[in-house]
Amino acid sequence: MSDFLERVQSRTATVGIVGQGYVGLPLALVFTEAGFTVVGLDSDPRKVTALNKGESYIKHIGAERVATAVGTGRFRASSDFDKLAGCDAVLICVPTPLGHHREPDLSFVVNSSREVAKRLHRGQLVVLESTTYPGTTDEDVLPILQQTGLKTPGDFLLAFSPEREDPGNPDFHTKTIPKVVGGVNKDSTDAAVALYAAAIDTVVPVSSARVAESSKLLENIFRSINIALVNELKMTFDRMGIDIWEVIEAAKTKPFGFKPFYPGPGLGGHCIPLDPFYLSWKAAEYGIWTRFIELAGEINTHMPHFVVGKTVAALNEDGRSIKGAKVLVLGLSYKEDIDDDRESPSYEIIELLRERGAQVSYCDPFFPVARPGRKHDIQLQSVPCTAEAFSGYDAVVLATGHRQFRDPSLYAKVSLVVDTRNVVRLPHGAKGRLVKA
């Protein structure tokens, strides 16, 4: 391990990062900016070509940053996994989706681990960053690597360090977000801590890979359950004629013992809608039934139905049937001002409206054309983000609070706006109606 630490300290170590998406690409840039040689591996040749041209395919990661990294000569993207043979450290940043029956799908992790195993060499550090259930690193990844005949810690090192990306957050980014690290043994922990500390401001070592895996799940389960709580309260207070947003503003004036969470049309992103169920699945192996996680999932997945129900009721009040009504959904991204639509509830809302007979369109400046996803393919193109375009619809449903959608003038000629994010303000003198959902 001393040779590895020396290469890290001297910045002569080469870091290979498998997966150049929302986690892998910013990590590759941070290591490049710290002086390391970085190989970004991805199976998508379009991403590889774009990166090597100095272009970015992720909106919140500026092309100038990618171009600068390429210009140093220390960062190259590739689809050739044989490049891993020349890497001192390999970081695996691949998706961990759910299957059709909400079971963990580790196929990307397993396949990547097999590719790494083919090129594994003595002194190499392997780190899994993909969110998963406790035990994945030492129960699934380790056996694959040991099939080579090499062992840890004598021959290679293995650790887990959960990604903590928050796309579009102006206050925190990869370098400044503390990095939790846990190895399958002490030498592996020490090596991974040394590597990350060379590029990231704060590294938090823990006693094992299982603790590191569990910490990520706790973070996301905490958010999932609290969002479910406030979503349930939104539906409850709505029936009582009470504005949940005003309630939250009042409650958060308490300087202790309260943390505000905000309701919405459902959960999106790769983490919160999926990760809690990894623990539910694993817990069942131990005879434990995670009722809080399951209940939170039930409430959060119901929210698109609540939004559609509010839209139908509001149209009825205006003397309109949902069948044949023209409805515009604002936003495909799962959160504001980013181009990430993974697991976005907007798709569910669109499909539910279509099932009710509505003629549905969408507007999102980040998605001129809707791309097919894991579960949805709406086959639509964005309408212009103008007041004139909006005026042609019987109802406008705001699902994502993009900055562009906060201009009151957009709604000057809209008869009905259904706002799920509490961001719409109708202009003075507008004749339309605003409904919160």
Q: In 10 A of CB 30, how many CB atoms?
A: 20
Calculate mean pLDDT across residues 33-61: 94
Tokens of 350: 């669109």
Q: What is the pLDDT of residue 274?
A: 81
Q: What are phi and psi of 409, to 5 degrees?
A: -65, -20
Report all structural domains of the chain as residue ranges with CATH numbers, in order of start. Answer: 2-207 (3.40.50.720), 213-437 (3.40.50.720)
Q: Decide: 401 and 336 in contact? Cβ < 8 Å.
A: yes
Q: Could you tell me the pLDDT band of residue 99, with boundaries at 50, 70 and 90?
A: confident
Q: Decide: 198 and 8 in contact? Cβ < 8 Å.
A: yes
Tell me the per-residue pLDDT of 327-374, one tens digit each, with 9 for 90 and over: 999 999 999 999 999 889 999 999 999 999 999 999 999 999 998 876
Q: Which residues are catalytic?
A: 271
Q: Could you tell me the pLDDT band of residue 291, with boundaries at 50, 70 and 90?
A: very high
Q: Could you tell me the pLDDT band of residue 167, with boundaries at 50, 70 and 90?
A: confident
Cβ neighbours of residue 277 under 8 Å, at least 6 residues apart?
Answer: 98, 102, 104, 293, 297
Give the predicted TM-score (pTM) of the model: 0.91
Give the C-alpha separation, 16 to 355, whole Å.
Answer: 46
Give the C-alpha separation, 245 to 158, whole Å.
Answer: 46
Question: What is the chain's mean pLDDT, rounded?
Answer: 94
Helices (H), 345-386: 345-355
Q: In 10 A of CB 107, how many CB atoms?
A: 13
Give the C-alpha separation, 110 to 217, whole Å.
Answer: 20
Q: Would you say residue 82 has pLDDT above 70?
A: yes
Residue found under tokens 């669109």: 350
Where does residue 384 rank: exposed (0-12), middle (13-18), buried (19+ CB within 10 A)?
exposed
Q: Would you say residue 151 has pLDDT above 80?
A: yes
Q: Decide: 373 and 394 in contact? Cβ < 8 Å.
A: no
Q: What is the pLDDT of residue 228?
A: 96
Q: What is the pLDDT of residue 90?
A: 98
Q: What is the pLDDT of residue 273?
A: 76
Tell me the per-residue pLDDT of 387-408, one tens digit each, with 9 for 90 and over: 999 999 999 999 999 999 999 9
Preceding amide of 365 cis, omega within 30: no
Tell me the per-residue pLDDT of 191-240, one tens digit each, with 9 for 90 and over: 999 999 999 999 999 999 999 999 999 999 999 999 999 999 999 999 99
Q: What is the pLDDT of residue 39?
A: 98
Q: What is the pLDDT of residue 277?
A: 87
Q: What is the pLDDT of residue 374?
A: 67
Give the C-alpha separation, 262 to 246, whole Å.
Answer: 11
From residue 267, alpha-carbon distances to 98, 223, 225, 436 in Å are: 15, 10, 11, 17
Calculate mean pLDDT across residues 84-104: 90
More confident residue, 323 or 273: 323
- The residue ranges of DSSP E strands in 165-288, in sequence order, are 179-183, 203-205
Report residue 312 CA to chain centroid gap.
Answer: 30
Strands 359-363 and 326-330, bridge-based pairing? parallel
Strands 326-330 and 203-205, bridge-based pairing? unpaired
CB-facing half-sphere around the CA of 138: CA atoms within 13 A: 16
Calculate mean pLDDT across residues 148-153: 96
Q: Decide: 334 and 268 in contact? Cβ < 8 Å.
A: yes
- DSSP symbols for 200-235: SS-EEE-S-HHHHHHHHHHHHHHHHHHHHHHHHHHH
Q: In 10 A of CB 432, how many CB atoms?
A: 18
